[in-house]
């Protein structure tokens, strides 16, 4: 089947999801025309945070109309690298928002962290099809974000393998028939480690995910299982179920990406190799299907798949995230902001792995009890960003105190 023509923007092009998306685009276009920049998929905009060389390389290969580097200090370097290419170059937060608001009809929202909120919201406001790989849009601003999706008539397609799996097998026409949904988790690199061993985990060990190729921040989140906690909150916004209808199960092989259980006893699962190109291909071709050059799942070779309950004692981030979801209001926004700070401090070697969740928990407690800004529900994107900034400031201060102790 031929791929229908599509203009796309990739917010976060140099990250793992952005590069996987462009690998699919390259395959499609080369098959159609012999060139990465010609074919059914026209790349309009690419953005990156600081990776100037990587962004310039992608620009030369895909020839977008515009590239944006978030770090304004890198603008001169980007201009030099792309001099004479005909590609428009821009930098900074306002340019990122403009990238989301551009002419592309399909936008990959793959900027990691709260930095992806504003540009993704711009794409939503223009009624685009948004492939959502950024967790923070729903974790930090779920109700506000979804209200804008509805008002603008945008199409929201989840990219996370778990939510994408549920999306593929969820009966949206009869949601009352759904008994529960179950998110699967690999368990991360420390699944079999004791609590005492986990305390001494290093950044290098935490980013060594056993199944998936991901960026450092998401890999650490997978190691703490905070990633699954954030996905729990996302799922509560994406699917018409109650929080107590969302379960989590550890599945080390990462080939069953999630389940939907129905009230008649049926359980539907989506399966595939642990390759992000699979869910990305689903969103890129939606509502059709496309050929993707990914490894096919061979169940006979796999032999055995297994499941186990998560250990909340060794991985308290899961309970913390569920508590934030149940509390509502600003709690998920604070959870996410504090976690970003704590993970960054851990990766920089300034505090231990076990202190990540401690910082998040203390930030939620402090903001809720002592700061009016942390007690109410945000009603606008500006509110969310204000809460986010306040939580980051306190979490960074507390991280410094912990490191100095």
Render the burial of 221-247: b for 16+ CB within 10 Å, e for the rest.
bbbbbbbbbbbbbbbbbbbebeeebbb
> In the structure encoding, which two tokens stand for residue 63, read together?
């020839």
Looking at residue 213, its pLDDT comes to 64
Looking at residue 212, its pLDDT comes to 61
Residue 401 neighbours by CB under 8 Å, 6+ apart: none
DSSP strand pairing (178-185 vs 256-262): antiparallel
Determine the 3-state secondary structure of 390 from DSSP.
helix
The CATH class of the 6-158 domain is alpha beta
Half-sphere exposure of 216 (CA within 13 A, CB side): 12
On whether the CB atoms of residues 333 and 391 are closer than 8 A, the answer is yes
Residue 243 neighbours by CB under 8 Å, 6+ apart: 232, 236, 322, 325, 326
Looking at the chain, which residues constitute the CATH 3.40.50.720 domain(s)?
Answer: 6-158
* Length of the chain, in residues: 405
Nearest to 114 by CA among 297, 321, 339: 339
Determine the 3-state secondary structure of 11 from DSSP.
strand
> In the structure encoding, which two tokens stand for residue 340, read together?
């970003």
Looking at residue 368, its pLDDT comes to 82
Nearest to 126 by CA among 108, 109, 103: 103
On whether the CB atoms of residues 251 and 225 are closer than 8 A, the answer is no
> In the structure encoding, which two tokens stand for residue 74, read together?
């890198």
The residue assigned the tokens 């005492």 is 196
Looking at residue 147, its pLDDT comes to 96
Looking at residue 371, its pLDDT comes to 55
Ramachandran assignment for 188, one of left (phi > 0), alpha (psi -120 to 50 degrees), beta (any other): left
Q: Which residues of the chain have pLDDT under 50?
A: none
Compute the distance between CA of residue 224 and CA of residue 240 in angstroms, rounded to an integer. Answer: 27
Looking at residue 26, its pLDDT comes to 96
Compute the distance between CA of residue 312 and CA of residue 278 in angstroms, rounded to an integer. Answer: 30
**For the packed helices 161-169 and 277-285, what is the interaxial angle rounded to 10 degrees?**
50
If you write DSSP's letter for every residue of 160-202 in order, what string do you get?
Answer: SHHHHHHHHH--TT-GGGEEEEEEEE---TTTT--HHHHHT--
Please tell me the pTM assigned to this model.
0.93
On whether the CB atoms of residues 139 and 116 are closer than 8 A, the answer is no
Q: What is the pLDDT of residues 239-291, one digit of tens each?
A: 999 999 999 999 999 999 999 999 999 999 999 999 999 999 999 999 999 99
Looking at the chain, which residues constitute the CATH 1.10.1740.10 domain(s)?
Answer: 328-405
On whether the CB atoms of residues 181 and 241 are closer than 8 A, the answer is yes
The CATH class of the 328-405 domain is mainly alpha
Residue 66 neighbours by CB under 8 Å, 6+ apart: 44, 45, 46, 87, 88, 89, 90, 99, 102
Q: What is the dihedral of CA 87, 132, 383, 95, to 10 degrees?
A: 0
């Amino acid at each position: 089947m031929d791929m229908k023509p599509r203009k796309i923007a990739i917010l976060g092009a140099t990250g793992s999801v952005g590069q996987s998306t462009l690998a699919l685009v390259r395959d499609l276009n080369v098959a159609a025309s012999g060139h990465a920049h010609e074919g059914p998929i026209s790349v309009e905009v690419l953005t990156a945070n600081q990776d100037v060389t990587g962004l310039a390389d992608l620009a030369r290969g895909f020839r977008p109309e515009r590239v944006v580097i978030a770090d304004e200090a890198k603008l001169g370097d980007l201009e030099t690298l792309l001099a004479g290419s005909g590609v428009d170059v821009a930098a900074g937060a306002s340019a990122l928002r403009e990238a989301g608001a551009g002419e592309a009809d399909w936008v990959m929202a793959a900027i990691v962290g709260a930095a992806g909120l504003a540009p993704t919201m711009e794409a939503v406001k223009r009624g685009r099809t948004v492939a959502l790989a950024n967790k923070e849009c729903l974790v930090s601003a779920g109700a506000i974000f979804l209200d804008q999706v509805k008002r603008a008539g945008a199409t929201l397609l989840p990219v996370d393998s778990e939510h994408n799996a549920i999306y593929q097998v969820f009966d949206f026409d009869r949601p009352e028939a759904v008994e529960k949904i179950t998110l699967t988790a690999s368990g991360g690199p420390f699944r079999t480690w004791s609590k005492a061993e986990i305390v001494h985990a290093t950044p290098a060990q935490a980013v060594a995910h056993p199944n998936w190729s991901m960026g450092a921040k998401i890999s650490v989140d997978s190691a703490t299982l905070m990633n699954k906690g954030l996905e729990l909150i996302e799922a509560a916004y994406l699917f018409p179920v109650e929080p107590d209808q969302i379960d989590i199960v550890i599945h080390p092989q990462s080939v069953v990406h999630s389940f939907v259980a129905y009230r008649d006893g049926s359980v539907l699962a989506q399966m595939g190799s642990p390759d992000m190109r699979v869910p990305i291909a689903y969103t890129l071709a939606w509502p059709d299907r496309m050929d993707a050059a990914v490894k096919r799942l061979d169940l006979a070779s796999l032999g055995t798949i297994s499941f186990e309950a998560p250990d909340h004692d060794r991985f308290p981030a899961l309970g913390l995230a569920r508590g934030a979801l149940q509390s509502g209001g600003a709690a998920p926004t604070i959870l996410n902001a504090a976690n970003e700070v704590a993970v960054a401090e851990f990766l920089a070697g300034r505090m231990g792995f076990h202190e990540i969740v401690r910082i998040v928990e203390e930030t939620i407690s402090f903001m809720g009890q002592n700061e009016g800004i942390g007690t109410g529900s945000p009603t606008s994107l500006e509110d969310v960003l204000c809460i986010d900034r306040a939580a980051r400031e306190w979490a960074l201060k507390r991280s410094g105190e912990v490191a100095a102790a």
